[in-house]
Amino acid sequence: MYGGGYIPEEEKRKQQHMEEDPAKLAEFEARIDNGEKIEPHDWMPAEYRKQLIRMIEQHAHSEIIGSLPEGTWITRAPSFKRKMALIAKVQDEIGHGQLLYNAAETLGKSREQMMQDLLTGKSKYSNVFNYPAKTWADVAVIGFLIDAAAIVNQVANSKGSYGPYSRALERICYEESFHLKQGHDAFVALATGTESQRAMLQDAVNRWYRPIIHFFGPSDKDSVHTGKLMRWKVKMMTNDAMRNQFLSSYVPKVWELGLSFPDPKLHKDDNGEWHFSDPNWDEFYQVIKGNGPCNAERLAVRSWVETQHKWIREALFNPNAKYTLPLS
Q: Which amino acid does the sequence have at 232?
A: W
Applying CB under 8 A, which of residues 11, 27, 39, 273 lies at the interface with other proteins? 39
By CB under 8 A, which span of 247-255, 258-266, 283-291, 307-315 interacts with other proteins? 307-315
Applying CB under 8 A, which of residues 168, 180, 200, 234 lies at the interface with other proteins? 168
By CB under 8 A, which span of 112-120, 154-162, 194-202, 236-244 interacts with other proteins? 112-120
Q: Is 158 in the site for other proteins (CB under 8 A)?
A: no
Distance CA 267, CA 247 (A): 9
**Which residue, 91 or 219, is less far from other proteins as judged by CB?**
91
Q: Is 34 in the site for other proteins (CB under 8 A)?
A: no
**Which residue, 277 or 328, is less far from other proteins as judged by CB?**
328
Neighbouring CB atoms inside 10 A of 113's CB total: 15
**Which residue, 96 or 243, is less far from other proteins as judged by CB?**
96
Number of residues that bind other proteins (CB under 8 A): 50
By CB under 8 A, which span of 46-54, 210-218, 261-269, 319-327 interacts with other proteins? 319-327
Please state the closest distance from residue 223 (CB atom) to other proteins, in A.
32
* CA 152 vs CA 44, 62, 191, 256, 281: distances in Å: 27, 15, 24, 21, 21
By CB under 8 A, which span of 139-147, 149-157, 247-255, 315-323 interacts with other proteins? 315-323
Q: Within its chain, how far is the Cα of 106 from the centroid?
A: 20
Please state the closest distance from residue 172 (CB atom) to other proteins, in A.
11
Site for other proteins in 41-100 (CB under 8 A): 41-42, 68-69, 72, 75, 91-92, 95, 98-99
Residues 232, 161: contact at Cβ < 8 Å? yes
Site for other proteins in 252-291 (CB under 8 A): none
Q: Within its chain, how far is the Cα of 305 from the centroid?
A: 22
Distance CA 32, CA 28 (A): 6
Applying CB under 8 A, which of residues 79, 110, 219, 277 lies at the interface with other proteins? 110
Please state the closest distance from residue 288 (CB atom) to other proteins, in A.
18
- Look at residues 315, 303, 320, 302 and name the one whose alpha carbon lies nearest to residue 129: 302
By CB under 8 A, which span of 202-210, 227-235, 276-284, 316-324 interacts with other proteins? 316-324
Q: Which x/- pattern over 170-209 shows residues binding other proteins (rule: CB under 8 A)? A: ----xx----------------------------------
Applying CB under 8 A, which of residues 79, 116, 280, 291 lies at the interface with other proteins? 116
Please state the closest distance from residue 310 (CB atom) to other proteins, in A.
7
**By the criterion CB under 8 A, which residues form the site for other proteins?**
39, 41-42, 68-69, 72, 75, 91-92, 95, 98-99, 102, 105, 110-113, 115-116, 119-120, 132-134, 167-168, 174-175, 296-297, 300-301, 303-304, 306-307, 310, 313, 316-318, 321-328
